[in-house]
Amino acid sequence: MTGDDPRSRATQDQTLDRAILELVSRGTVPIPPYPAVALRVQEVVSRNDFGLAEVAHLIGSDAALAADVLRCANSALYRRGPPVTDLPRAITRVGAKEVMRLALTSGLASHAQAPGPLAQLKRIIWIESLASAVLCQELARLRGLRQEEAYVLGLLHDFGKLVACSCIESMLEKGGLAAARPLAMWSEVVERHHLRLGGQVAERWGLPPLVREVVSTHHDGAARPWQEAGLLEVVKTSDQILGGLGTTLDVARVDLASLPLLAPAEREPVARIIEKIPEFIAAFEVPEGRPDAFRSLVAAPTAALGPGERVASFAVTITMARRARTYNATAIGANRLAIVGKEPLPPSRLLEAQINCGGKPFKMWVLTRSSRAEGAAFHVEVQPYALSSEVRSAWNEFVAGGSGGVET
């Protein structure tokens, strides 16, 4: 049986479903522990007499968390004035309660970005969770609801998808299924189980009743009474935005007016906040490490030119871990850029790219889709992510072969 055979996939899916349900029934789902530092930060901030120095000391005790907080404080979401370089000023800029939420986010990042056969899918889920957290917080602000809880609900409501990935990977380690399949097909599997698994996470972590309810029932909430209907609506609106924009999160290409849960007065603030999301997500990227030793079970997308795509040749600079890498573009489309260079790039990584083609170079965020070796070179595919209207306009000019200078 191969992963391309529909009957084989159906059999594999049934096996996976049964195995995940068995883990749930036995109570042996691989759930990560609640981040310890986040718990301590919550305990401190919940006191009325906490001091800034105490919070800074606690944050500083975790090097990864301290680095994440500093990057967040200097991201577009929080940036006000010159860059901050020390924790006390970073915490002052962000706010103690906000730091409490960032501590939770940072603590979960290492699990969400752990290597494994489904690392690419896990990273996509994590990126969408971070985007949802920011969107839910902004929607709660616009609707006069509790922003702290909205952020946590956005971050955690689909955490069961990450746990589903961990379940599948643990089965593979025991000699289970090993057929590669497209990203969308793996997504269908985790989608079927994420509510049940999310409920187990919420119960294991002892989360508040509101979080448990939203995590385990947010897709069927309309059929039952809700004490916090406003916050549920925030989560559902965030899901609608992300679903409408897809993995590109590109407001310049999708009319927010077509989303029924988004009020007219909310469209412009949401569009502005989406442009700030990439820097926030990038703040929680794990440091670049050794190449993933696991064989990916996510099938690479086709490299053939699609409708509206064309051969191209121009220089592209990709920055990862503060180091610039040079590539040459080989194909371009409205939603795809193929490049070749001497170094691989990890899939599902949000990176900043500079397009160096005639005229004035410009920067844009891209999400890596695949990276494969061919001889001494690496062929990488990326897609634009969260482009502003201005950058989308410049990008479209390249795609159309305008004055930007796409060479064919």
Q: What is the pLDDT of residues 11-29, one digit of tens each?
A: 777 888 888 888 888 888 8
The whole-number pLDDT of residue 248 equals: 78
Average pLDDT for 299-316: 85
| Residue 405 token pair | 């200078």
Q: What is the pLDDT of residues 172-214, one digit of tens each?
A: 777 655 678 888 889 998 999 999 999 999 999 999 998 988 9
Give the DSSP H/E element, type plus range, for residue 55.
helix 52-60
The whole-number pLDDT of residue 408 equals: 34
Mark out the alpha helices in 144-258 (DSSP H runs). Answer: 147-156, 159-173, 183-205, 209-217, 229-245
- Residue 402, C-beta contacts closer than 8 angstroms, at least 6 positions apart: none
| Residue 312 token pair | 């191209």
Give the DSSP H/E element, type plus range, for residue 341.
strand 336-341
| Average predicted confidence (pLDDT) for the chain | 86
Question: Is 396 a residue whose pLDDT tops 90?
Answer: no
| pLDDT band per the 50, 70, 90 thresholds, residue 2 | very low
Greater pLDDT, 1 or 247:
247
Q: What is the pLDDT of residues 90-117, one digit of tens each?
A: 999 999 889 999 999 999 998 898 888 9
Q: What is the pLDDT of residues 205-220, one digit of tens each?
A: 999 998 988 998 888 7
The span from the CA of 315 to the CA of 303, in Å, is 19
The whole-number pLDDT of residue 405 equals: 37
The conformation of residue 14, written as its DSSP 8-state character, comes to H
The span from the CA of 266 to the CA of 355, in Å, is 32
C-alpha R_g of the chain: 22
Report the Cα 241 to chain-centroid distance in Å.
14
**Percent of the chain, pLDDT > 90?**
49
Q: Which of 374, 289, 307 is nearest to 340 (CA)?
A: 374
Angle between helices 87-94 and 96-112 (to 10 degrees): 110
pTM of the model: 0.90
Give the DSSP H/E element, type plus range, for residue 268.
helix 267-282
Options 1.10.3210, 2.60.120, 1.10.3470, 1.10.260; CATH of 115-299: 1.10.3210
| pLDDT band per the 50, 70, 90 thresholds, residue 133 | very high
Residue identified by tokens 């795609």 is: 399
The span from the CA of 97 to the CA of 115, in Å, is 31
The span from the CA of 233 to the CA of 328, in Å, is 45
Q: What is the pLDDT of residues 242-281, one digit of tens each?
A: 987 777 777 766 678 888 899 999 999 999 999 899 999 9
Question: Is 240 a residue whose pLDDT tops 60?
Answer: yes
The span from the CA of 383 to the CA of 107, in Å, is 28
Is residue 317 within 8 Å of 324, Cβ to Cβ?
yes
Mark out the alpha helices in 28-143 (DSSP H runs). Answer: 36-45, 52-60, 63-73, 87-94, 96-112, 119-143
The span from the CA of 300 to the CA of 373, in Å, is 12
Domain boundaries, the chain: 31-112, 115-299, 310-400
Is residue 76 within 8 Å of 276, Cβ to Cβ?
yes
Options 2.40.10.220, 1.10.287.70, 3.40.50.2300, 3.40.50.300; CATH of 310-400: 2.40.10.220
